[in-house]
Amino acid sequence: MNGPLGFLVLGVGDAFSTLHYASCLLVGFERQWLLIDCPHPIRKMLREATEKIGFSLDIDSIGHVVLTHLHADHCSGVEGFLFFHRYAVKQKPVLVGHESVMSKLWSGHLAAGMETSTDLSTGMERTRSLEEFASVVHIPTQGEVRVGPFSIACRTTMHTVPTTALRIRAGHRCLGYSSDTSFDPELIDWLAEADMFVHETNAGIHTEYEKLCNLPGNLREKMKIIHYPDSFRVDGAEIEPLREGGWYIV
C-alpha cells in the first residue's frame, strides 16, 4: 500500500441493503488516504475491510474526506468522524466537495447533532460551527483542487439532490467515481478519461445494469460496479462488481 494509486472497498451496497455496507471507498497513495463518502458505521467498516487485507488502519490516519452528496447512505458517518477527530484524535480533518454539496452540510445535516454544546455542570449552552471541527475545501466547477497528494475534479450527475462524480489523480494515475446518477453517457465519457472508474448501478432513479453492459468494450473494461442491490448476481457478472475488503490498483 506504499505504492501506486489504489483503493480499498469499504462498502458496495445501496441505502437499503441487508448484505452490505453503504458504498464507500478509501483511496490511498503513498500512505496518504482520502475517503470517498462517509457512511455510518465508518470505523467498523474500516476495521473489517482492512482486516481482510491484513492491514491495520483507523480513521485517525484519514485526514481527508470527499463528499459526493448528502443522502444519508453517503454521509451519515460524518458526524461521528468529526467528533472522533475532535475528541480522540485531536486533529482537524479536511472535508472536500463541490459548493453545491458542501453549502448544506452543516445547516441541512450536521447542525442538529453538533451545533449546540451544553456544559452539563453549568447548563450553559455554546453554539459551534463546522469550522471548529473541520476545514472545508471546495472542488471548483471547472479544473481541480489539490488535497494532499490527490488532485480532484468533479462533474454534476443526474440525481435527486446536488451530487457530483469525481476524478481523482495521484502519481500519474486517475480514478473515476460516478457516485449516484441516472444513466448518463456524457458522464461516462468524462469518467472514462480516468485509467479506471467505478460506476453505480441500481433500480429506479439509478443506472440500469443492462445499459452499462451495452456500452462499448473499451468502456466496460475500465469499469467496476458499486451501489448494487442485494439481488445483484455478483458471480459471473459481465462488468466486475467491487467486493468489500478488496484492494484495487488503479
Binding site for Zn ion (CB under 5 A): 71, 180
Residue 71 or 169 with smaller CB distance to Zn ion: 71
Least Å distance, CB 180 to Zn ion, is: 4
Of the candidates 132, 94, 101, 100, the residue with the CA atom closest to the CA atom of residue 115: 132
Cβ atoms of residues 102 and 136 within 8 Å: yes
Q: Enumerate the β-bridge partners of residue 226.
A: 200
Residue 180 or 244 with smaller CB distance to Zn ion: 180
| Amino acid identity at 247 | W
Residue 5 or 24 with smaller CB distance to Zn ion: 24
Least Å distance, CB 206 to Zn ion, is: 8
Instruction: Provide the pairing of β-strand 125-127 with 116-118.
Output: antiparallel
Cβ atoms of residues 109 and 82 within 8 Å: no
Q: What angle do CA 92, 177, 49 make, to 5 degrees?
A: 65
Phi, psi of 240 (to 5 degrees): -65, 120
Residue 33 or 184 with smaller CB distance to Zn ion: 184
Residue 71 or 224 with smaller CB distance to Zn ion: 71
Mapping DSSP to helix (H, G, I), strand (E, B) and coil, where does residue 101 land?
A: helix
DSSP 88: I
Burial 136-175 (b: 16+ CB within 10 A, else e): bbbbeeeebbebebbebbbbbbebeebbbbbbbbbeebbb
Least Å distance, CB 159 to Zn ion, is: 6
Least Å distance, CB 71 to Zn ion, is: 4
Least Å distance, CB 83 to Zn ion, is: 24
Least Å distance, CB 170 to Zn ion, is: 26
Residue 204 or 217 with smaller CB distance to Zn ion: 204
